Structure 1
Amino acid sequence: MKPDTSHIKQIKVVSNTHWDREFRRSFERTRRNLLTMLDTTLDILAADPDYASFTLDGHSILLEDYVEMRPERRGQLEQLMQEGRLIAGPYYTLAEEFSISHEALVRNLILGRSVVEKFGGKTGTVAYTPSSWGQTGQLPQILQDFGLDKMMFYRGISHHEADAEWIWSAPDGTQVLASRFGLYARYNWYYQVHRAVTRGTVFDKTYQWGKENDLPFRLSDALSGEDQAYEIKSPVVQYDKEKLKQAVEDMIEREGRHFTTEVFLAMHGHDISVAHPLESQIIADAQELLGDKYNIEQTDLEGFWNEAQKHLDREHLPVLTGERRSYLKEGMWTFLFPGTISARTYLKQMDFLASNALVYYAEPLASLASALGSAYPAGYMERGWRYLLSNHTHDANGGCAPDNVCADMEYRYRKAGDIGDIVTEDAMAYIASQLSPKGMEQDEMQLVVYNPLPMERNAVVLLDLEVPRVNGALSVSLSSALDPLVERQAIASGNSSVFVDSIWDVPTILESRRIRLLASLTRLPGLGYRTYRIVPEARELRSSGTLITGPDTMENEFLKVQVNPDGTLDLHNKTTGRSYSSLNYLSDQGENGNAWKHVSPLHDRKYSSLGVPSQVAVTVSGPLSSTIEAEYEFAVPADYGDGESRSRVMAKLPVKVAYTLEKGAKHVLVKLTVDNRAKDHWLRANFPTGLRTGVTWADSHYDVLSRPIPLPDSTDWAERAEGTHPLRTFADMTDGRDGLAVLPKGIYEYEAFEDEHSTLALTLIRACRIKLAVSEEKLTELPDQGIQCPGLQSFEYAIHVHEGDWQEADLLAQAAQLYTPVRIAASGRGQGALPAEASFFTLNNPALHVSCVKQAEDGSGTILRLFNGSDTEQKADITFGIAPEQVQCCRMDETLLDEPELQLQLAANLLTVTIPAKKIASYKISMGVWAK
């Protein structure tokens, strides 16, 4: 029985391309095709006034890529964008969302809009993101803050949840209209109509040599690489009108039932596709042939929604809330593919570090320096963000691309990180230069400690000082008016020398004493600095006391720690009396999948490091911080053998794990290094919690959310449901009384098991093969080894035990302190008038998390963004050290607004804010003079 599609009256054809900036080929090789695509498209739009519009995917970076090589065509491109016939954005790049930071999502839209407007276009009201493998839950709130009230994607939303049109709600209640497209997603017209009438086929992808005079060409020598495809250099333009009517009717029959209104969305585009010279003629002919049934016209996504909204029964549309990571129950081509968050972990770690360098160091410290009189380095910051965001193309930042693409990404990550470090150092140096010299002799030294977080904090820090040898120092003490007795722990001391660089002279050499020590700094001001006087001491520092209590045990105020003979950890929470055993053991299983999804070998063999003998030794002993290390070899199969069973040849993976306990800490710091000598395997760190709970808690973009541990029965589904989930900075399990969380740095995949021990697992390596799935009919396996993550791989995370739930434990704030340590500089005396200690501002509620402190895009103030990840309204006082003249609510796109639900009360230096549950709040601050 044919499905009822009689309600379809209109067909809106949207001509477009999906442009993978770097995926199967490197960026430059792909740009060669971009030049051809846009040259052709511009020519067609110029020659054919009936060709309504062409959509350049959902991003704008390709405009810059094009005009860099075709500057002579910029004027034509800008004219077409002004006319609305060439459409790009609203994003700068189309990212895999769960592998990037929350602030990167916002900056992507800011830069995307800026680029589109520079080329004369507008970003409209539709967010078209057909690429991320799942969608983060707060996206509707973010999009609405950019005037985008419609959203289109198809991964993470299954057909059984909603028809094509539905409503997506963020956790705070902000809603957008959404579309998951039809059965064939973003290619339905392209395959079912366009290919039917121009290629004589619909879904068949067989190429017949010599059938057409189209000049296939392929480099075929030893210099050409492994994955060389034929490329058609002289395409044949053909069109069989006789097939058109049936092709359109077949498309409607297959997909019409998915659409809730009379308006059918027909997407004419494909990966790396080009505008077709006969497209407007084909659409006109379709209207001629089927005008008695349908109104068929070429339009854009705005045009589709403008018409569809007239017919929507919004009150009866399903409302789906929060993150969209549903597995495909029925249908095709729109699988979630959840595995990208664990592909090439090293790239995720690089992204994490580069993003932190820009967001949590460079921007807030440059804002602080700017408020004190320095010029804000806007050009540098834009360049740093461009390097970072240009890596956020989904196939690349998802870890799916070949090694040459990922090598280019590593270069850009280094550039972004370098710029973040440069801006941070310059801001720190400016503040040091403006400190008052009062009370200091010219030859004295001072330590300037910068806290980039807007909360008062204590910190155990490692100092690496080069002190002039002439003063005879064998050690140093530290002194500050508000922290007069700094507790220290000796690390090392010895004669050294260091270059003194100056653009005004040749590099000179300071004969020095290199002194390394730990220092316990207390009550450091929020988003500010404190100076300590460095006092030379003529005798070496001898630390008294230690956290070490035995050859394999440590203890502080809150925790008892034992490192077991197999390298695992036993942890006792002295506050609640709860103990945890065999934490941080490694497990390993086979991997026969690819970057997109995990596939177990048919006959898998799983391994555990439990019981593997290790060498355990104390490596650091002292009252502030102590470390016990364990080293062992973990034997696993060398590869997946024949693909059905793992190899019988074993590879020994050398593992070194350092456990560090600090004074006053409720967590153990872990640094695990493994020499990955195996292939095709999934290596995880495991934490048997013993906590009985049905859910986990983890932070996501501007949110903290729970996820059920039991898996749905997906036996008959098109895609098997997995237990893995994304996180940003923590994953937590709690029974309401006790809790255990893992706080990683740049590791984004976890899973909780319904096993005897309620185990929480963190993916370290998912080593697989590059199987480029550009077509279901052919998987191209490349010899590239980077995706196997070979060689030394290092991972850092903390095991944090707590009472109550994640909010009582302040896990967002705890994680922030781990991934945003204080920065420290030694300097001579300053030459200005700044006090010895100051704070830009301090926030007194750890339930509110600061997402950014940056200069406004127009340079007219400072943007402060907070979010409330909790389920309840939160109120906080923000105490400024620099009195603001004005504070205004703004959207994330920095447009000022009057938002009554974001209550503001400003009195002198004190700003009181009230932020509803799950709300992202942005403020524009006009700074005044330094507060007395």
Structure 2
Amino acid sequence: MDRTTAHIINHTHWDREWFLTSVYTSQWIAGLIDKLSDLVEQNPEFHFFLDGQTLVIEDLLQIHPDYLSKVERLIRGGNLLIGPYYCQPDWRMTGGEELLRNLLLGWKDMKKHGGGVDSGWLVDTFGHISQSPQLHNLFGIDSVYIWRGAPQMDPYFKWHSPSGNSIFTINLFGGYRNLYGVTHVPEIAVARLQSELDKLALYYPTPNIPLFDGYDLEDNPEDPVLFYNKRCHEVPAEIKIQEETPASFAQIIQYRDLDMPAITGELFSGKFGAVFPGTLSSRIYLKRMARDCEHLLYQVCEPLAVLARQRGRQYPDELFEVWGRTLLQNAVHDCICGVSIDQVHEKMEFSYRQVFEALRDDIQKSLDFILDEFREGTYAVSTNTYPYEGWLAASSKLYHVRTGGIG
């Protein structure tokens, strides 16, 4: 009989703005980094996955810039894993361009700090869009972990986009925190391990069971593998324990070339994990503000700035990135879904208004450059690459517009 291998992934799920604003949660990150440094000092092979985000590091360095060297030492050593995303947005209500920027900014931050993660991590996303495999593939990601939304209790499946792209998907129907805090009550630690393995083994095609030591806003990490190794005489002989990263466990299963089901399209089933459909209509004013700002930045402001650059204006790429990061922070699933405390959503309103006004000012600057040599009159400047003819409202007036494309 094959030994059962418990593959333990150490992590945290960092809900930066849920029951508190980031003003408070950001203050906890330094303590988390200090504890991770201590764990690595005791065990250089220890790995910790930072919820697939780089925003946590950004929040830390804004209030503790002196932590840069400590953080990068952990990242470059492979002990602290950040990315592949900038943050954890709601994928249903975030526009396609913004989802791409989330991956792009995550990639940029990973490279800046010396790290790299090539496995997706959507373990608390409230449902999944059909294009998710396609977007991940664009950034070289061929595996992803999910929890909510899967319509069946298969631990692994091939998830296909309508585009034909696919991604190996690990379905955490047992949750992403089934081994959290296991060493804090040592007298039942072995029994908990055995119980989780017994509970899950029936569903897995091989004796390889992933377990997850982490919790929401977990800032007190532990090293369960080192703990069990010191108590190896208590662990049943038929159980093998080894630490993994999300990518390493995905590779182990992919190399086995298992026959697994295929699922195409959206993953919005609440049968085995709630997807909270009510969040699609909660605090609808925030969703309107998000859409207005996304539209202005990605479909108006940036294209106009490209045209203005042809007329001598310097392209404000740094400003666009700051605004893009701000919009993504508001797109984090608890925030845009409207499930956080009132102070979080009031903070979102304020930042949306700031970004919206800044974008309008930037649009006017670009138009001033584009139309500088035009005669006095009324002009339509299009950021749409396709020809258009129709009626458009501008302020209190209605204009009949005909364009040949962008310009």
**Which TM-score tier does this pair reach, normalised by the shorter chain?**
over 0.9
Within the candidate set 249, 259, 267, 2:194 is matched to: 249
Runs ≥4 in structure 1, deviation > 6 angstroms?
none
Q: Does 1:260 align with 2:205?
A: yes
Query: Could you tell me which residue of structure 2 aligns to residue 11 of structure 1?
Result: 6
Aligned match for 1:88, one of 82, 87, 91: 82
Q: Give the 3-state SS of the residue equivalent to 2:43 in structure 1.
A: coil
The match for 2:398 among 504, 514, 518 is 518
Cα distance between partner residues in 1 of 2:201 and 2:352: 45
Q: Which of structures 1 and 2 has the larger relative contact order (alpha carbons within 8 angstroms, sep 6+)?
A: 2
Structure 2 letter corresponding to 1:119:
H
Q: Work out which of the residue numbers 205, 217, 220 in structure 2 matches 1:272.
A: 217
Listed as ranges, the matches of 1:561-572 within 5 Å are: none
Distance in structure 2 (CA, Å) of the matches to 1:288 and 1:459? 78
**Aligned partner of 1:188 among 178, 203, 212:** 178
Alignment partner, residue 354 of structure 1:
293
Q: Tell me if the contact between 2:52 and 2:82 (Cα under 8 Å) persists in the aligned partners.
A: yes
- The structure carrying a bigger strand percent of its residues is 1
Secondary structure of residue in 2 paired with 1:66: helix
Corresponding residue for 2:328? 389
Q: Which has the higher helix share?
A: 2
Supply the AA of the counterpart residue of 1:86. Answer: L
* 1:30 lines up with 2:25 in the alignment: yes
Equivalent of 1:142 in 128, 135, 141: 135
Deviations for 1:315-361, whole angstroms, at most 9, x for unmatched residues?
x2000000100121xx5xx2222211111000000000000010110
Partner of 2:165: 174
Structure 2 counterpart of 1:419? 358
User: Partner amino acid for 1:257?
Assistant: L
Quickly say closer, same or farther: Cα 1:91–1:288, change in 2 above 3 A.
Answer: farther
* 1:458 and 2:385 are equivalent in the alignment: no
Q: Give the structure 2 partner of residue 487 of structure 1.
A: none
Are positions 1:132 and 2:125 aligned together? yes
Deviation at 1:301, TM superposition (A): 0.9
Structure 1's 284 and 338: CA in aligned 2 closer, same or farther, altered over 3 A? same
Q: Is the 8 A contact 2:8 2:225 kept in 1?
A: no
Report the equivalent of 1:527.
Answer: 406
The alpha carbon displacement at 1:391 in A equals: 1.0
Alignment of 1:198-277 (within 5 A): 198-199=184-185, 239-240=186-187, 243-277=188-222
Q: What do the CA deviations read for 1:146-178 (whole angstroms, capped 9, x no partner)?
A: 0100011111013xx241111100012211000
Equivalenced residue count is 407
Aligned-pair distance for 1:453? 1.4
- Aligned pairs for 1:818-837 (under 5 A) are none
Task: Measure the CA separation in 1 of the matches of 2:222 and 2:162.
Answer: 45
State the distance in 2 between where 1:143 and 1:380 align: 26
- CA distance in structure 2 between the aligned counterparts of 1:275 and 1:457, rounded to whole angstroms: 57
Contact 1:17 1:270 in 2 (8 A): yes
Contact 1:457-1:526 within 8 A present in 2 as well: yes
Say whether residues 1:369 and 2:314 are aligned partners. no
Residue 423 of structure 1: how far off its partner (Å): 2.6
Structure 2 residue aligned with 1:893: none
The aligned counterpart of 1:845 is: none
Give, as a single letter, the amino acid of the residue that structure 1 aligns with 2:88: L
For structure 2, the 5+ residue unaligned runs are none
Corresponding residue SS for 2:129: coil
Deviation at 1:456, TM superposition (A): 1.9
CA distance in 2, matches of 1:288, 1:67: 43
- Given that residues 169 and 320 in structure 1 are in contact (C-alpha distance below 8 angstroms), is that contact kept between their aligned partners in structure 2? yes
* 1:286 CA displacement: 5.7
Tell me how far apart the structure 2 counterparts of residues 79 and 408 of structure 1 sit (CA, whole Å): 33
SS in 2 for 1:52: coil
Equivalent residue letter for 1:118: K
SS of equivalent to 2:263: strand
Q: Tell me how far apart the structure 2 counterparts of residues 7 and 447 of structure 1 sit (CA, whole Å).
A: 77
Identity, in percent, stands at: 24
- Please tell me whether residue 306 in structure 1 is matched to residue 255 in structure 2: no
Question: 1:381 corresponds to which letter in structure 2?
Answer: F
Please tell me whether Structure 1 or Structure 2 has the larger radius of gyration of its CA atoms. Answer: 1
From 221, 239, 261, the equivalent of 1:318 is: 261
* Counterpart-to-counterpart distance in 2, 1:289 and 1:311: 30
Question: What is the letter of the counterpart of residue 519 of structure 1?
Answer: Y
1:402 maps onto 2:341 in alignment: yes
With structure 2 as the length reference, what TM-score do the two structures score? 0.94
**Pairwise CA RMSD of aligned residues?**
2.0
Output the CA distance in 1 between the equivalents of 2:394 and 2:362: 21
Q: In the alignment, which residue of structure 1 is the partner of 2:103?
A: 109
Q: Does 1:449 align with 2:328?
A: no
Deviation at 1:32, TM superposition (A): 2.1
Partner SS state of residue 19, structure 2: coil
Match of 1:337 in 2: 276
Deviations 1:227-282 (A, max 9, x none): xxxxxxxxxxxx33xx3332222111111122222221110000011343553432
Q: Report whether the alignment pairs 1:297 with 2:227.
A: no
Q: Distance in 2 between matches of 1:305 and 1:462?
A: 52
Counterpart contact for 1:287–1:294, Cα < 8 Å:
no
Deviations 1:34-81 (A, max 9, x none): 332233223332x31245111111111010111222222210110110
For 1:664, the equivalent position in structure 2 comes to none
How many angstroms apart in 2 are the aligned matches of 1:300 and 1:92? Answer: 19
Matching residue's letter, 1:33: W
The 8 Å contact of residues 187 and 267 in structure 1, kept in 2 or not, is answered as yes
Alpha-carbon offset, residue 365 of structure 1: 1.1
